[in-house]
Homo-oligomer: A and B are copies of this chain.
Amino acid sequence: MTGSKTAALLIIGDEILSGRTQDTNTQTIAQMLGVKGIVIREVRVIPDVIETIVDTVNTIRRQYDYVFTTGGIGPTHDDKTAEAMAKAFGTTLERNADAWQRLVIHYEGEANMNAGRAKMAEIPVGAVLIDNPVSVAPGFRMDNVHVMAGVPKIMKGMMEFILPTLEGGDVVHARSVSADLPESALAQGLEAIENAYSGISVGSYPKFTPGMKPSTVIVICGVVLADVEKAANEVADLMERHGGTPRSSS
A contacts, CB < 8 Å to B = 11, 14-24, 26-31, 34, 39-48, 74-79, 114-117, 119-120, 134-135, 151, 153-154, 172, 174, 176, 183-188, 190-191, 194, 201-208, 214, 219, 221
Contacts and interface: CB of A to CB of B under 8 A. Distances in A.
A76 B225 CA distance: 23
A10 to B, nearest CB: 11
Q: How many copies does the complex hold?
A: 2
Nearest to A112: B184
A181 to B, nearest CB: 11
B45 A17 contact: no
A174 B14 CA distance: 12
A194 to B, nearest CB: 6
A235 to B, nearest CB: 12
Given A27-B22, A30-B19, A184 B117 contact: yes
Given A16-B43, A18-B174, A79-B204, 14 more contacts: A14-B203, A18-B172, A19-B30, A19-B31, A42-B46, A43-B43, A43-B45, A75-B184, A76-B190, A77-B190, A114-B187, A116-B185, A119-B187, A134-B208
A23 B40 CA distance: 14
A9 B207 CA distance: 22
B18 A34 contact: yes
A76 B30 contact: no
B135 A208 contact: yes
Contact of A45 (B42, B135, B208): B42
- Closest 8 pairs between A and B when the two form their complex, measured CB to CB: A19-B30, A116-B187, A116-B184, A77-B191, A43-B45, A76-B204, A75-B184, A19-B31
A22 B25 CA distance: 10
A154 B210 CA distance: 12
A206 B74 CA distance: 9
Contacts of A40: 17-19
A39 B18 contact: yes
Contacts of A39: 17-18
Given A24-B22, A43-B45, A15 B116 contact: no
Contacts of A176: 20
Given A134-B208, A183-B116, A19 B14 contact: no
